[in-house]
Structure formats: C-alpha cells, structure tokens
Chain A
Amino acid sequence: MRDFVKLFEEIDGTTKTNQKIQAIVDYLQVAREEDKVFAIAVLTGNKPSRPAKTTDLRLWASELANIPLWLFEESYYIVGDLAESLSLILPKTSAEADYSLEQIITEVVRLKKVTVEEQKEVITGYWNHLSGTSLFVFNKLMTGNFRVGVSSKIVVKALAKYLDKDEAVIEHRLIGKWDPFTETMASLFESNLAEDKHFLPYPFYLAYALEGDPNDLGDLSEWVVEPKLDGIRGQLIVRQNDLFVWSRGEDLMTEKFPEFAKLNQILPDGTVIDGEVIPWKDGHALDFNVMQTRIGRKNLSAKILQEAPLVMVCYDLLEWNGEDIRTKPLYERRALLKAILETYPLDNILILSEHKQFANWEEAKAFRENARVHFAEGLMLKRADSPYEVGRKRGNWYKWKTEPMSIDGVLIYAQSGSGRRANLFTDYTFAVWDQEQLVPFTKAYSGLTDKELITIDNWIKRNTIDKFGPVRSVKPELVFELAFEGINLSTRHKSGVALRFPRILRWRKDKLAKDANTKEDLLDLIKQKP
C-alpha cells in the first residue's frame, strides 16, 4: 500500500491539477497490476462501506493507547476527524509492514460479515503494523469516508495518459458501478465492449447553465430548443435482446421501470436512446413529487403504476443498428430518432421531445419565464449540428432554467426544531463541495412533508457522526434541492455566500452526495446576476 499512500500524499499536498494527474500516472507505472483497479475504484469514490461500528473503533484504539475513552473523545473533538484521531493516538509501531491495496480492501469488505471479536482482532492487528499516512489511509477506509482530492475527470485524464487512449474512451469504460473484485485492467480497458459489456451506457453529455444573454448564441434557427423536463435523465439500451435503463447517476434502473420492460421485443438490437424518464398523464409531465413516490420502492403496486405511469421523453439517439452515431450532427440523430419512434409500435411509452418553434429569442425567454405553466423547468438549447459529447462541456448545449435559483446541497448538520417539532430533527445545515471538502453554506427548514421529516429524523438518529450540544453532525449522504430568492457574497459565512429566503424544495433521493453542487456553482450564480 506504500505506493498508494505516496500517491495519496502527493494528491493531498497539491492543488494543481497537472501535478495530481502526474501523481496518478506515476503510481500506475509502478503499482502492482492487481492493485490498480482498486486504486482507480477508490480514487473515483467507489469504495467499500464501513465494516465496523465507530464506537468499537474508538474503544479498541483507546485500549491500545492506554487512555480512557473520555480522553479519546476530547481529543476527537479537537481533531474533528475520526480516522485521523485514531491514527494520532495509536501507539507507534515498531514492526511496520506493507500490505497490498487489494488485501486491505478485501479485508474491509470481509470484515463486514464477521463477529465483533474477529473484527477487533483483525483491525488491531493492522494497527500494530501501520504508521503515519499508511495508518491514516487504512483508518479512512475502515471508517468508510475516504475521499481523495481528485475529481473523476482528473482520474480519467491520468488513465488516458497512462493507457495512451482517448479520454472519452476511458470515461465510457469507467461508467456504471463496476466491481474492482471482478474487473482487471484488461477487462476494464481492453475488452470488446459490444460483446463483453453490452450493458454499458455511453457517458452522458451534460449541459452547462446558460450564462448571459441567449442573443449571444446567434441565430435561433441554428438551435434545437426543447422544454427542460424535471424527471430522471436516463439512457435506454437494447442490445443482444436485452434491455437496460441507466440513470445519469450511473445506476442501472431497469427493474424500477416496468413500463419499458417489453421494449427489447419492440426495438431492434443496437439501439441506444437518451431521454428523460418522467411520470406522464394526459399529454403532459406530472410533478417530480409523483416520481419520488416511485423511487426507492421495491414493489410497484398496480395502484402506484397507475398513479405515476412513466414514459421516456426521448431527445437523442446515440446508437442505431449497433453503430455509435454520437459524432453525427444532432439534426441527423433527431431525424432518425423521430422516424424510429413513428415506425415502431411504442404505444406512447417513448415520446419524442418537443422541438419548440419560437420566432425569436424574446419568445423563448417568455416561455422560459413561465416554464412551470408548461410543466417544464426551463429550456434546453442545443446546437443543431452538435455531436453528442462526453461529460460536461461548454459551447454546444445549454440548460436555461427558470428562476428561482436552486442548488443541490448535502445535509451535514441537524438540530431539533421547536414547538410541535421539538423532538424531531428538522433544522438542517447544508453544504456544497469546495475541492474535496464540504463547506456549510445555508440553513433551511421548511419545504418537506411531515412524513419526509420523520423519515429523515430517523435517518439522522442512525447516521449521527458526532454531537455538539443540540447539534448533530451526520454522514454526508442526503442531498436536497434548495431554492432561494437571492444570493450575495458574504464574509460572515464560511462558504463566502449568503442566501436570501432559503428553503428546501425537495429531497433529491436520486442524487448522491458527490452529485451536489460546488462552491464554484454558488459563486457562478452571483456572477450571473443581472
């Protein structure tokens, strides 16, 4: 693990993207072949969850350090990070050993299934043979909150450099929840995708928010303008007579959408469509809350299916007859998509996204301002001759959302409410990402249903990391969309911004903490102000 620890130290010691990329390349050049996939998994946030209880870890470490638990707790309070606290109080080892990253991660996964006694024996065994940053990295993996200061973009760039391949190719191959225990470098990067991994989606092309005036985009006729719907972005794949539906979060969601189940018998093999999965009735989209009632349910009753019937509003065709057509211009892909949707008996399960015809940008602006009336949250602007790119790219696609401004934040602190809600944790503090750190940026209370509050309260009690008086810090997992009326720079707030009238718009169960917005996004909102 020493080479991986060195990599961690180098990434940790610099804020420069190029140095981080080079550190990863250097690591890949010297690491054990079997360790590489595990390193890539960890670097991209695909890491095993915590196998042991944190209370046990504290107890065992205090025992080894010969200090009472209260002194550990006081120390932890000062340090603020459990893995670091454990590393600092554990006695220095005189018999340092090196383990492979593969072995350590295998242990973390295995320890989940053994008795507490065995956990203690194994974990304290490692503690007795690790020191410094190695011990810290081990504890980070053991406490399940290891974050390395690199974006997946950096990892992709490093892999592209190391393997001498296109970044888009790397990104495509890293998509989805792949398993480092079953993959090898060869199966990840050298396999024949069409044959061996026919389930894999293409990397999604993501739009930037439009900054400034649409008039600057040039002639409206060069743009495909669509209502921006508020569902779940998805990719529908029919290959080798199988059907797969992937979400933008790279989750395989095929089972959740029984409406699409028969599509592999209707559409020909080698078809991949990009679109919005959304509840739809009487010719228009239903509110996102309706969708929420379906997400997370194991059994979809007939009643639910009737109340929240899903369709896919299709806006792009990525593969046809097994051919990757992403480089063809959008108007060609759209024309083909339209023909397909008209040809096959799809029974309105797949609907073509509407190409809005506006006379000029002013008309488009007017629509956007009232988008909610049209069951949309704004407009999507796509250059008619644009290829389907990989990841978030500027220039060809823009999302142009309606006010109010909103941002996705991660719940990090909770406090009990007052009055009727005194015994519930209802006052939340939210954070956004600043590099690899979450910085709190606002508090918000209202906006959730009582039922949601109770669910979240329950979750908070089970996922508390620490208590500071009435405040609990919780695992950074839950993401909420927060709406606000204004945003300004502020020196009083740690995040550097202050929000006006923040409120919780909704619980984004479809998002992971890593999908939350960044401090940069907040600052961008300020810059965009007229």
Chain B
Amino acid sequence: MTVLKRQKRTESQYMKLLTVNQKGLYCKQADVYLDPWKPVDTALISHGHSDHMRWGMKNYICQEQTVPILNLRIGAENNVRAVAYNDPFEINGVKISFHPAGHIIGSSQIRLEYEGEVWVFTGDYKIVSDGVSQPYELVKCDHFITESTFGLPIYNFPDPHEIYEDINTFWRKNVALGYNTVLLGYSLGKAQNILAHLDQSIGDIYLHGAVANTNEALATIGYDFPGVRITPENDRSKIKGAVIVAPPSASDTPWLRKMTPYKIAMCSGWMQLRGARRRRGVDKGFPLSDHCDWQQLNQAVQDTGAKHVYVTHGYENNFSKWVSEEYGIKSSIFKTLYNDEEEEVSE
C-alpha cells in the first residue's frame, strides 16, 4: 500500500498576493484594493452594487459598463479608469484583467497574476445567463476568491426561463382579475433582468424612480429597457393591469398603495424558502437570482482548477468547510464587509 503524501508547501513560504485588511481586499504588490469598504488611493471595482462600489476612493478602476452606474451612484466628478473585458494591464508587475461575472451589467471577476500565480476575485457572480449582462466566463486560477450568498444545498434555483414564464403567467392572471402587478427587485440588476423578459403584449410597464434612473444611466451606453417612469403627473387611473417594477424598499409605502388594487411579488433567490416569502408578506415569490446557487458555486470551484479557495460573504463557514472536505481543496474564509444581501435602494 502506498501512502500518497500531500505536497507540503506552507503559505508562509511566499507572501500572499491578496490579503484582507481593515480597508478591504488588498494587493500589496500593486498597492490596489479590490472593492474596498474604506477610502483608499486605488480601488478595483467588481460591480456597481453599493456594498462593492463605495464612495471616497481617489482612483476607481472598473469595467467600462460600470462607469455610468458609478456616475449615477457616486457622482461624475471621480477619477475613473474604464477597462474592457479581457484587456490586461500592469501595475508594478501585477497583470490585472477584468472578466465577465454574469451578475449584473458591467460585473466583473478580477484576475491578478504575479510571478506565475493567478488569483481571481469573483465579486458577485452567476454562471447561468440572464440574457442582459455579459455571461460568466470561466477563468482558470490558482487562488479563487468566491462569494457564497447561496452557499447551502437548499439553494438550487429553477431554470430562469421557467421563472420568466411564471412571472408572465402571474401578470396575465392578475390582468384577468383586474389587478396591477408589482414586481419587487433590486433597481440595478434584477430590475433589468425582469424587464428584459416581460411579455410586453400583456400590458403596460411602469417603473419606480430608482429603476427608471438606473435604466436612463444604462441607456447612455446603449441599453434600452421598456417601461414608463411613474411621476406625480401620471394619471394613476390609467395604470390598469400594468406591471410596476420597483425596488424592495418600495413595498409598504404610500407610493405603492396608490397602485391599488395590486398583487405583489418579490424576485430574489431568497424566495426559495417559504419562510422568507412569508416574512416578506408578498403574494408570490419568484426565486430569480443574480447569484450562483449551490450547483453553480460547486461547478465554479471545480472548474477554475484552484488549489486554494477563499470564501467571502454568505454562508462562508459552511461552504468553506464543504469545499475542503468534499474536494480536498484548501479553503479558508475571508471576512469582508460585503453584505449578505444585495443592495437595498431607499429613495
């Protein structure tokens, strides 16, 4: 019987290219931060959600489609360097490139290569395509930093096409019963994902201001989403059998009550659980997610070929333990300040 000894190479033999400090995920060699949560000199931004793209950085480097979102959310007066997908650049010997993460428009995995070692930070991502954002691209690496928002085996989402169909069926049924249909989804990402798959032959589409603002920003780079912004000037009596797309924070507000009578649904991966649906107090929950589910996370971890996995926001303890037990891959936890949930926009 031969005993295979695992190759011993301790972490201390070389400096880690990426570490976590109190400001964020830090690359000392290039002196840049990835999605930092405190002001720094240079920030590489994975995508435009508020827990990843924060205010106060001297220099922002992000994928070009994230720029209009940055301008909308933290102002146009910043130093922003826009980069294309798959277009590497170097900072102090570190080769840096952005690759599609499939999470929302502009979302990127950030790849860093130094002395033959490749690190990939996923930001937020999903492998299934939403038909709106550039689909996820597999990036081989040695060190893989993954989110774990839905990193438990209870989260296996249905095929999104089934969900789009269910949403349209829900809408159609509500029209027949004389109701408006309110679809709650984050104003950046989920809203566009929904809008791109609504069957416009069913009825009119209206937008909450936060969604309309995002769409207008994205229109500057060529995106065209359906829907009319709701303003105080709108004749509310004409909004009948319509869909209204609004952020979750709009539920239970006087703004929304003016759309009565309506049926309301939440679109989020969390809707996979009955308890979450009940707590939301919605008529229906559609488990439409912009994050990887359990299967996708496992697929990514295996396909990247990484020998070391670092798990960030989500069920990081459980997912990390699972990865090391199941695949024999070294796995640790990166404690970050990214939220477990996606941004909540309150207007």
Q: Are A81 and B275 in contact (CB under 8 A)?
A: yes
Q: Are B156 and A88 in contact (CB under 8 A)?
A: yes
Q: Are B325 and A88 in contact (CB under 8 A)?
A: no
- Across the interface, A79 reaches (CB within 8 A) one of B273, B283, B322, B325, namely B273
Judged by a CB distance under 8 angstroms, whether B192 is at the interface is no
Instruction: Looking at the assembled complex, report how far the CB atom of A297 sits from the nearest CB atom of chain B, in whole angstroms.
Output: 41
Which chain A residues numbered 29 to 70 have a C-beta less than 8 Å away from chain B? 65, 67-68
> Which of A68, A71, A81: most chain B Cβ within 10 A?
A71
Instruction: Looking at the assembled complex, report how far the CB atom of B316 sits from the nearest CB atom of chain A, in whole angstroms.
Output: 12
**Chain A residues with Cβ under 8 A from B273's Cβ?**
78-79, 84, 88
Judged by a CB distance under 8 angstroms, whether A92 is at the interface is yes
Judged by a CB distance under 8 angstroms, whether B129 is at the interface is no
Q: Are A79 and B154 in contact (CB under 8 A)?
A: yes
Q: Are B152 and A74 in contact (CB under 8 A)?
A: yes
Q: Are A78 and B152 in contact (CB under 8 A)?
A: yes
Interface string of B315-331 (1 = CB under 8 A from A): 10010001001000000
**Chain A residues with Cβ under 8 A from B153's Cβ?**
65, 67, 71-72, 75, 88-89
**Chain A residues with Cβ under 8 A from B322's Cβ?**
67-68, 71
> Which of B154, B272, B283: most chain A Cβ within 10 A?
B154
Instruction: Looking at the assembled complex, report how far the CB atom of A434 sits from the nearest CB atom of chain B, in whole angstroms.
Output: 11
**Chain B residues with Cβ under 8 A from A81's Cβ?**
274-275
Which chain B residues numbered 291 to 347 have a C-beta less than 8 Å away from chain A? 315, 318, 322, 325
Question: Contact size class for B?
Answer: 10 to 19
Which chain B residue lies CB-closest to A65? B153
Which chain B residues numbered 112 to 159 have a C-beta less than 8 Å away from chain A? 152-156
Instruction: Looking at the assembled complex, report how far the CB atom of B30 sits from the nearest CB atom of chain A, in whole angstroms.
Output: 37
Given contacts A65-B153, A67-B153, A85-B154, contact A74 B274 (CB under 8 A): no
Interface string of A438-457 (1 = CB under 8 A from B): 00000000000000000000
Judged by a CB distance under 8 angstroms, whether A13 is at the interface is yes
**Chain B residues with Cβ under 8 A from A67's Cβ?**
153, 322
Judged by a CB distance under 8 angstroms, whether A80 is at the interface is yes
Instruction: Looking at the assembled complex, report how far the CB atom of B323 sits from the nearest CB atom of chain A, in whole angstroms.
Output: 11
**Chain A residues with Cβ under 8 A from B274's Cβ?**
81, 84
Instruction: Looking at the assembled complex, report how far the CB atom of B212 sits from the nearest CB atom of chain A, in whole angstroms.
Output: 30
- Assembled-state Cα–Cα distance A417/B272 (Å): 38
Interface string of B268-290 (1 = CB under 8 A from A): 00001111000000011000000
**Chain B residues with Cβ under 8 A from A78's Cβ?**
152, 154, 273, 315
- Assembled-state Cα–Cα distance A337/B73 (Å): 81
Q: Are B275 and A79 in contact (CB under 8 A)?
A: yes
- Across the interface, A75 reaches (CB within 8 A) one of B154, B283, B284, B325, namely B154
Instruction: Looking at the assembled complex, report how far the CB atom of B53 sits from the nearest CB atom of chain A, in whole angstroms.
Output: 28
- Assembled-state Cα–Cα distance A215/B272 (Å): 55
**Chain B residues with Cβ under 8 A from A88's Cβ?**
153-156, 272-273
> Which of B153, B284, B318: most chain A Cβ within 10 A?
B153
Which chain A residues numbered 76 to 103 have a C-beta less than 8 Å away from chain B? 78-81, 84-85, 88-89, 92
**Chain B residues with Cβ under 8 A from A89's Cβ?**
153-154
- Assembled-state Cα–Cα distance A72/B152 (Å): 9
- Assembled-state Cα–Cα distance A81/B153 (Å): 15
**Chain B residues with Cβ under 8 A from A74's Cβ?**
152, 315, 318
- Assembled-state Cα–Cα distance A335/B216 (Å): 82
> Which of A13, A75, A80, A81: most chain B Cβ within 10 A?
A75
Q: Are A68 and B325 in contact (CB under 8 A)?
A: yes
- Assembled-state Cα–Cα distance A67/B156 (Å): 14
**Chain A residues with Cβ under 8 A from B315's Cβ?**
74, 78
**Chain A residues with Cβ under 8 A from B284's Cβ?**
13
- Assembled-state Cα–Cα distance A454/B114 (Å): 68
Instruction: Looking at the assembled complex, report how far the CB atom of A475 sits from the nearest CB atom of chain B, in whole angstroms.
Output: 19
Q: Are B283 and A13 in contact (CB under 8 A)?
A: yes
Instruction: Looking at the assembled complex, report how far the CB atom of B153 sits from the nearest CB atom of chain A, in whole angstroms.
Output: 5
Instruction: Looking at the assembled complex, report how far the CB atom of A35 sits from the nearest CB atom of chain B, in whole angstroms.
Output: 24
- Assembled-state Cα–Cα distance A88/B157 (Å): 10
Instruction: Looking at the assembled complex, report how far the CB atom of B158 sits from the nearest CB atom of chain A, in whole angstroms.
Output: 8
- Assembled-state Cα–Cα distance A14/B283 (Å): 7
Interface string of B224-247 (1 = CB under 8 A from A): 000000000000000000000000
- Assembled-state Cα–Cα distance A81/B278 (Å): 13
- Across the interface, B152 reaches (CB within 8 A) one of A13, A75, A80, A92, namely A75
Which chain B residue lies CB-closest to A84? B274
Q: Are A80 and B154 in contact (CB under 8 A)?
A: no
Instruction: Looking at the assembled complex, report how far the CB atom of A439 sits from the nearest CB atom of chain B, in whole angstroms.
Output: 12
- Assembled-state Cα–Cα distance A90/B155 (Å): 11
- Assembled-state Cα–Cα distance A335/B217 (Å): 84
**Chain A residues with Cβ under 8 A from B152's Cβ?**
71, 74-75, 78
Given contacts A13-B284, A71-B318, A71-B322, contact A92 B156 (CB under 8 A): yes
Instruction: Looking at the assembled complex, report how far the CB atom of A210 sits from the nearest CB atom of chain B, in whole angstroms.
Output: 34
- Assembled-state Cα–Cα distance A79/B315 (Å): 13
Instruction: Looking at the assembled complex, report how far the CB atom of A96 sits from the nearest CB atom of chain B, in whole angstroms.
Output: 14
Instruction: Looking at the assembled complex, report how far the CB atom of A149 sits from the nearest CB atom of chain B, in whole angstroms.
Output: 11
Which chain A residues numbered 1 to 31 have a C-beta less than 8 Å away from chain B? 13-14
Which chain B residues numbered 175 to 225 have a C-beta less than 8 Å away from chain A? none
Which chain A residue lies CB-closest to B284? A13
Instruction: Looking at the assembled complex, report how far the CB atom of A307 sits from the nearest CB atom of chain B, in whole angstroms.
Output: 49
User: What are 28 A-B residue pairs whose CB atoms fall within 8 Å in the complex?
Assistant: A13-B283, A13-B284, A65-B153, A67-B322, A68-B322, A71-B152, A71-B153, A71-B318, A72-B153, A75-B152, A75-B153, A75-B154, A78-B273, A78-B315, A79-B154, A79-B273, A79-B275, A81-B275, A84-B273, A84-B274, A85-B154, A88-B153, A88-B154, A88-B155, A88-B156, A88-B272, A89-B154, A92-B156
Closest 7 CB pairs of A and B: A88-B154, A75-B154, A89-B153, A75-B152, A74-B318, A67-B153, A80-B275
A68-B325, A78-B152 given. 5 additional CB < 8 A pairs? Answer: A13-B283, A65-B153, A75-B152, A75-B154, A88-B155
